[in-house]
Amino acid sequence: MGHSAWCPPTLPPRQRPEDDIDIAVLASGSGTNLQALIDAPAVRPHIAIVVSDNPEALSLRRAEDAGIPTAVVAWSDFGNRDSFSSALADVLEEKGAKGVVLAGFMRILAPAFLDRFPERVLNIHPSLLPAFPGAHAVENALDGGAETTGVTVHFVDEKVDHGPIVEQVAVHVETGDTTDSLHARIQVEEHRLYPRVIEAFVSGRLFIEDGEVHWL
């Protein structure tokens, strides 16, 4: 396996907008990226709540085992994306979350949700965006004959799998790779990268200013 990391350019020192940021983590599935965040000593104390749209998600059990508050906001309880997103934002704000981290959350959030957490929603995606957005990124990379794919962490905007990129790590596609084997190697990089990025975010060292990502 080969991989290389892209790092943001060196930037002049800026005044931090806030020293500490408590976060909500949203997860729909097994929660392996959530577990990586829970296992990061500098991140775990800042996780105010873990929320899922799926009451059977293993991610909820991971949070409960770590003593982190959980909640379920079920998509089926709402008639549309706007009402779902509004209810979800209410839950997060009630727990004091100032930022939102998506960790395998399979719902598209309404613009009004992003307005309530402006430039404070982060996502991790298993490709080198803008290549292969969407829910089948690993499969699409294989089907498309890509020689390299990887991981992207980015701030979320109103488009799907889009927004200012924080950092990317490349993962080589090996001969004979299947979706499962490639995804497993991508996850190794995800579990290294996401805690490092989120540690910077919760400590106020990662933010957007004038449309650009700053990492102090």
Q: What are 142-175's pLDDT values in tens digits?
A: 999 999 999 999 999 999 999 999 999 999 999 9
User: What confidence score (pLDDT) does residue 79 get?
Assistant: 83
Please state, rounded to an integer, the average pLDDT across all residues of the chain.
Answer: 93
pLDDT for 6 beyond 60? no
pLDDT range class, residue 132, cuts 50, 70, 90: very high
CB of 24 closer than 8 Å to CB of 50: yes
Exactly one of 125, 154, 183, 191 is catalytic; which is it? 125
d(CA 186, CA 6): 15
d(CA 115, CA 127): 26
d(CA 178, CA 82): 37
In 3D space, the residue among 10, 11, 14, 40 whose CA is nearest the CA of residue 25 turns out to be 40
pLDDT range class, residue 15, cuts 50, 70, 90: very low
Percent of the residues in the chain that have a pLDDT greater than 90, as a whole number: 90
Percent of the residues in the chain that have a pLDDT greater than 70, as a whole number: 92
Average pLDDT over residues 53-73: 98
pLDDT for 51 beyond 90? yes
Average pLDDT over residues 166-191: 98
Residues constituting the chain: 216
Is 3 a residue of the active site? no
pLDDT for 4 beyond 80? no
Domains of the chain, by residue range, sit at 5-207
Average pLDDT over residues 108-133: 97
Kind plus residue range of the DSSP H or E element containing 1: none
Q: What is the pTM of this model?
A: 0.90
Kind plus residue range of the DSSP H or E element containing 42: none
pLDDT for 1 beyond 50? no
Alpha helices in 67-154 (DSSP H): 81-94, 111-116, 137-143
Torsion of CA 76, 77, 80, 82, to 10 degrees: -130
User: What confidence score (pLDDT) does residue 161 get?
Assistant: 95
User: What confidence score (pLDDT) does residue 194 get?
Assistant: 98
Identify the weakest region by mean pLDDT among 9-13, 37-41, 64-68, 96-100.
Answer: 9-13
d(CA 46, CA 145): 40
Task: Specify the CATH superfamily of domain 5-207.
Answer: Formyl transferase, N-terminal domain (3.40.50.170)
pLDDT range class, residue 18, cuts 50, 70, 90: low
